[in-house]
Amino acid sequence: MSSRRDFLLKMSLLGLAAGGPGRLVTPAQAAGAKPAGALRLAHLTDIHIDDNPVARKGLAHCLRAAREAGATAILNTGDSFRKLDGSTLAQVQPMWRAWTEVTRDCPLPIHSCLGNHDLWTPPQADAASHAGHPGLGQGGRTEAMRVLGMPAAWHAVRVGGWRFLMCDSISGEKRYAFGAEQLAWIERELAGLGEGEHAALCCHVPIQSPGAWMWMVNRSAPEKWTFPYGDLQRDLREVTDLLRRFPRARAVLSGHIHYVDAVDYLGVRHLNSGAVSGNWWKGDGVLDRDFPPAFAIVDFHPDGRVERQMVTYAL
């Protein structure tokens, strides 16, 4: 059995085993549970595309499943590429090319923000030979933003009665944070919401996530546990204060950890939606026993309610 077929068979079995309320549903099941009047979007995160058949076909399947599930657009919260940080030009070019080729025929608009692995930094030893490459502009963002079709490192998208703030988790001085300039922009966008318009913030690194803690629990002894600095946004206090001032800011969509969780905190629904790549496309695809490749179908209601189903795409 080819590794590709083997991967999909395991995925199918996992998908079936995980079916049911609160777990993964098929695209057809998601399509059958579409509430009337809601804006339905797909939330894809941590795709980690690479120039290999498993990743290419996996993303192609996922994009098709998003359409089958009834999404009208895609929100992509970053880590679109396997790993641009610490990679040479010869290594990053196939990743950029794979994204362009696989997404070319997708009829749904894809709105993206950047993840930590989407910022290109060549290896220390090769830095001199890459100096001046235009793709390294804006802190390694320029080529990734061009390939992803992003108008700016942070930008707003209006769909239906909703405004999606596509944020940059890596723009602050500390790792990871929005920084003062972006927080001021978020505030202006929320202050400028139109009559009846609601907002969701999309970013790579979560603001609230039990998954961030479980990642640590799964990897270290209790006496080593500390604040999960690498897996939560550091300016979460400032962001929380900001969101509280604007009751029509109703959700935060994020990724980064490749775990699935949902938190309601002070009226805001924080949805961390796993990873399209699961365990970075490795092995049977399942991360830490619990998280196979998946994406989210999110229904945004006119009254501000937000509902999510996690969907398996490999059946």
Residue from 79, 143, 168, 189 in contact with Fe ion (CB under 5 A)? 79
By C-beta, is 161 or 274 nearer to Fe ion?
274
Binding to Fe ion by residue 168, rule CB under 5 A?
Answer: no
In angstroms, give the least distance from the CB of 122 to Fe ion.
Answer: 20
Which one of 27-35, 76-84, 141-149, 192-200 is the stretch in contact with Fe ion (CB under 5 A)?
76-84
Binding to Fe ion by residue 231, rule CB under 5 A?
Answer: no
Which one of 43-51, 62-70, 172-180, 303-311 is the stretch in contact with Fe ion (CB under 5 A)?
43-51
Which one of 11-19, 20-28, 42-50, 202-210 is the stretch in contact with Fe ion (CB under 5 A)?
42-50
As a dihedral over the C-alpha atoms of residue 296, residue 307, residue 203, residue 270, rounded to 10 degrees, the angle is -120
In angstroms, give the least distance from the CB of 259 to Fe ion.
Answer: 11
Structure tokens that stand for 304 in this block: 């501000």
In angstroms, give the least distance from the CB of 204 to Fe ion.
Answer: 8
By C-beta, is 70 or 115 nearer to Fe ion?
115
Determine the residue with CB nearest Fe ion. Answer: 79
Residue from 7, 39, 41, 46 in contact with Fe ion (CB under 5 A)? 46
Binding to Fe ion by residue 50, rule CB under 5 A?
Answer: no
In angstroms, give the least distance from the CB of 232 to Fe ion.
Answer: 14
Q: How many residues are listed for the chain in this entry?
A: 315
Binding to Fe ion by residue 299, rule CB under 5 A?
Answer: no
Binding to Fe ion by residue 118, rule CB under 5 A?
Answer: no
* Contacting positions for Fe ion (CB under 5 A): 46, 79
